[in-house]
Structure 1
């Protein structure tokens, strides 16, 4: 079994591509297992579950008059925006396939899309953009990704429903209607410039985090915590930069903050001509950061170390996901299959680290043989084939960690989308070779569907009577309650002396992380709420649900449920044979 540390660095290993025998599928599994690996048409019940998860998320947590999810924090709200945009992309493609000439059908379709899109528009105004400008660079980059996800949805929905060759509008062709109505594009395009402007401003703010004086390069996590550089900020910069190169439509708005955000930037575009799409700066930033990340080995500098050779061995699920959309984007514009190899290797290592074998399409441990109340062995990123963060069992997950698994599945969905090159940007690739790469990518993604379904079904079993998802999905799979749960020493996995769980607890006040007596990061609000948290302590006779511990069910855990269901729908749909 791979050690937890090997999972974190798996993405760093590039693979050479031999075209004659190209395959991203693991050795010993030449064809996907037919038992649930996408070789049958996807179950329409899954899209019903996706839409229900979306409805509960918005009706329970979103407040239109505030334009946000009030219980979220700045960065998790940006992620919720990405989840909404992703769900809308899936919905738009589904509606395009359900063709009808009945005007009433069109009204129902458009109303459903407009309901959630208008909430995204409301969030544009509800997002506290001024506050996020002063936060850490990773917080800033979630904003970039969020609005680029929305831009991708607008482009897709317009192409499918409002352009020549798109799906029908529901108006019969023999009806006499004004030309003005026929020539109208989708109203969502009115907001494209606003979303693009915010994405561009925030990317330029984040670009200030790139530093070559310390550690030979890389993104600083927080301008007030130099020289600390972590994996997530660099992964975000890769994915956000390549997404800017691919999807940013341009921006001719020179305000606000044009002077301070572009000051000192190399090759900056003059504000008099605007910022153009496909600017090489974005591609250069993505490739430069990816190269640095691979060299670094995901090592994080501590204290006064400027060489980046003292690691923090802590693993989080979202660290394994954000890089995936960046890898796909880099392949799209370079045609370099090493990015795909890196991505598939990382996905397969993550699946193995949950205790799931994609060759047999089942967990490696015999769950049926577990004594009552016991939980399976911890494999590094989960147990019983279910993705977990280390805080799940303890029940002390912070608001940050509540968001992590949803982020993983959102970017896994992006990575396993049907493969394509951007013809105007990518180098010429021989058609036969590209077909082989595309088929190898599709076949590999098919092998993941069984594991995704396993996680989605477990997540569904954590829903309460209101349809809200819990954080610890394994509980749903094992049907455990606080009455039966039997946590014993060693169930949390081996202790890693280099691991500091700064996302759920405090940064240690010791010389390795800073000067003694000087607090580097305030206590996490997820652990310091009134009354504290009592992991695995039953509070009352009716409090039987382990997912009611700590923060309980939140908008972030709902986003996680939505994301894993959407991953199941999209990847099984694309993987049909």
Structure 2
């Protein structure tokens, strides 16, 4: 049985590649975008980063990134889909359309392989946030397929006779997986504790954290906007949560249950007191004294034990959800909330948004400025970066932030998806100021972030090694011969779950930070001390997750700065 399935997979891949070769676009005089205005090298750098990601970390024959784990693989796959969208819209910036077609088809075949390589059965047993990363990933793939097909195929009579782009055949499979995983993840919505919100993991004590609820918001609104429908009833029967409206059949486009779920979850998150004094989302809430053994009427049900730990990705995922909620409702307040969050994040890296430069308090040219909560000297950091103790989870976070910032700041559509079933507003003319005015205001706000994005992209590029691999600590002093003494103060009551525990309680924290390959250190004969040649080779070093972060920030640079 296994051999038959494997043969079927490779026959499908072979047929897709054959179609890709035969079905080349039928015209080369496509509309050209504006050329890069600020940095003509960004797109080549992005292509190089993507090539290293796939050539060094992806195994085509398995359809996996072997050293990634299930949820980070889903995130890397999402980056790949987004990069394909960028490549599709950047044909004129490449040397020829044939090179562009070949590049797109190569990476799209990788994406198909990743569909079969994804361990969907294992992911069913994991936490709800793991499931929701899967939903966002395959919806992003569907977005790419539709955008690439509409941009390069079916634009003239000859193309219409040839039919749609061959990649369209994968939409039903991708949509089915997105729906199945959304339905499973929706079981995490719970009203018995904290008056609502998503539980992080059904197998552990209740923890209602920011990331799971932000993912639920982003996935719900993305299902409303981008899910194309699904008439496949296999393979799992999943009961629809009672908080959502019952759907007729497996699923249909723009079903109001998805929008209702996003709105309800956004309201809960807004009322949950999950932000700190700087406006940043903390990690989440425990329910103190909760026990499975106690009767329900005798147990505490309030979210009253807050983990004050702050991570970069908790500030990012919500942004795409806020943009989607605006697109579905016309309510400008969602975008206003998003821009306030971005402003708070940038301030927490030590960047003066009004003046477009590093805060004056940090000495000019001194890259290791004061820790501001999410970085220093205008460069985004995790708390684990400076001492090199980031886990596989933590190494993924900054890339996630820049991915969702890019989604948030993409130009707003001219036409919105307004649901007459849920809102009094029946059309775009009912939006105060109209969508054009909101577009202008949104673009102006996003343009303010350009210098900061460029600052971070350059910092990320400074970590490249001889093989073109990105490091984790973008703000690391280059060519350092010793580990810097950098103080990162975690907030009171902050527990760094994602990075191995509470750092100040470790006995061997610095020993772990110095764990690395022999080639990356040398012994000082005079003092007998081990010194680090490259601060980005400490701990886990350069990985598929840090490479994904490089791809993500360069894509943000290209999409939001260079082509604007």
Report the TM-score, using the length of structure 1 for normalisation. Answer: 0.80
Q: Work out which of the residue numbers 530, 534, 540 in structure 2 matches 1:551.
A: 540
How far off is 1:383 after superposition? 0.2
Q: Work out which of the residue numbers 264, 278, 297 in structure 1 matches 2:273.
A: 297
The verdict on how the C-alpha distance between 1:424 and 1:396 changes in structure 2, with shifts beyond 3 A counting, is closer
Q: Any conservation in 1 of the 2:183–2:238 contact (CA below 8 Å)?
A: no
The verdict on how the C-alpha distance between 1:98 and 1:545 changes in structure 2, with shifts beyond 3 A counting, is closer
Equivalent position SS for 2:37: coil
- Aligned pair 1:110/2:106, yes or no? no
Q: Any conservation in 2 of the 1:395–1:535 contact (CA below 8 Å)?
A: no
Equivalent position SS for 1:220: coil
Equivalent position SS for 2:71: helix
- Aligned pair 1:235/2:198, yes or no? no
The verdict on how the C-alpha distance between 1:125 and 1:265 changes in structure 2, with shifts beyond 3 A counting, is farther
Q: For the residues of structure 1 that align with 2:93 and 2:402, how far apart are their CA atoms?
A: 26
Superposition pairs for residues 29-428 of structure 1, below 5 Å? 41-95=37-91, 97=92, 105-164=96-155, 182-257=161-236, 259-262=237-240, 266-271=244-249, 274-298=250-274, 300-303=285-288, 304=290, 305-365=300-360, 375-420=368-413, 422-425=415-418, 427=425, 428=427
How far off is 1:106 after superposition? 3.8
Q: For the residues of structure 1 that align with 2:137 and 2:447, how far apart are their CA atoms?
A: 27
Superposition pairs for residues 441-520 of structure 1, below 5 Å? 441-475=442-476, 478-479=477-478, 481=480, 483-487=481-485, 491-493=487-489, 495-506=490-501
Q: Any conservation in 2 of the 1:335–1:421 contact (CA below 8 Å)?
A: no
Aligned partner of 2:556 in structure 1 is 567
**Could you report, residue by residue, the CA deviation over 1:495-521 in whole angstroms, capped at 9, with x for unpaired residues?**
42210000012389xxxxxxxxxxxxx
Aligned partner of 1:540 in structure 2 is 522
Q: For the residues of structure 2 that align with 1:394 and 1:261, how far apart are their CA atoms?
A: 46
Aligned partner of 1:33 in structure 2 is none
Q: For the residues of structure 2 that align with 1:204 and 1:441, how far apart are their CA atoms?
A: 33
How far off is 1:533 after superposition? 4.5
How far off is 1:245 after superposition? 0.3
Q: Any conservation in 2 of the 1:398–1:504 contact (CA below 8 Å)?
A: yes
Q: Any conservation in 1 of the 2:374–2:381 contact (CA below 8 Å)?
A: yes
Q: Which has the higher contact order (CA 8 A, sep 6+)?
A: 1
**Could you report, residue by residue, the CA deviation over 1:139-159 in whole angstroms, capped at 9, with x for unpaired residues?**
000000000010100011011
Report the TM-score, using the length of structure 2 for normalisation. Answer: 0.82
How far off is 1:262 after superposition? 4.0
Unaligned runs of 5+ in 1: 1-37, 166-172, 174-178, 509-522
Q: Any conservation in 2 of the 1:333–1:421 contact (CA below 8 Å)?
A: no
Q: Any conservation in 2 of the 1:67–1:124 contact (CA below 8 Å)?
A: yes
- RMSD of aligned residue pairs (Cα, Å): 2.8
**Could you report, residue by residue, the CA deviation over 1:201-247 in whole angstroms, capped at 9, with x for unpaired residues?**
00000000000000000000000123211000000000000000000
Unaligned runs of 5+ in 2: 1-33, 275-283, 291-299, 420-424, 524-530
Size of the aligned set, in residue pairs, is 492
The verdict on how the C-alpha distance between 1:414 and 1:534 changes in structure 2, with shifts beyond 3 A counting, is same
The verdict on how the C-alpha distance between 1:480 and 1:365 changes in structure 2, with shifts beyond 3 A counting, is farther
Q: Any conservation in 1 of the 2:362–2:370 contact (CA below 8 Å)?
A: no
How far off is 1:360 after superposition? 1.4
The verdict on how the C-alpha distance between 1:386 and 1:39 changes in structure 2, with shifts beyond 3 A counting, is farther
**Could you report, residue by residue, the CA deviation over 1:363-384 in whole angstroms, capped at 9, with x for unpaired residues?**
114655678xx82100010001
Equivalent position SS for 2:208: coil
Q: For the residues of structure 1 that align with 2:241 and 2:353, how far apart are their CA atoms?
A: 50
Q: Any conservation in 1 of the 2:375–2:381 contact (CA below 8 Å)?
A: yes
Equivalent position SS for 2:310: coil
Q: Any conservation in 2 of the 1:316–1:404 contact (CA below 8 Å)?
A: yes
Equivalent position SS for 1:208: helix
Q: For the residues of structure 2 that align with 1:197 and 1:571, how far apart are their CA atoms?
A: 32
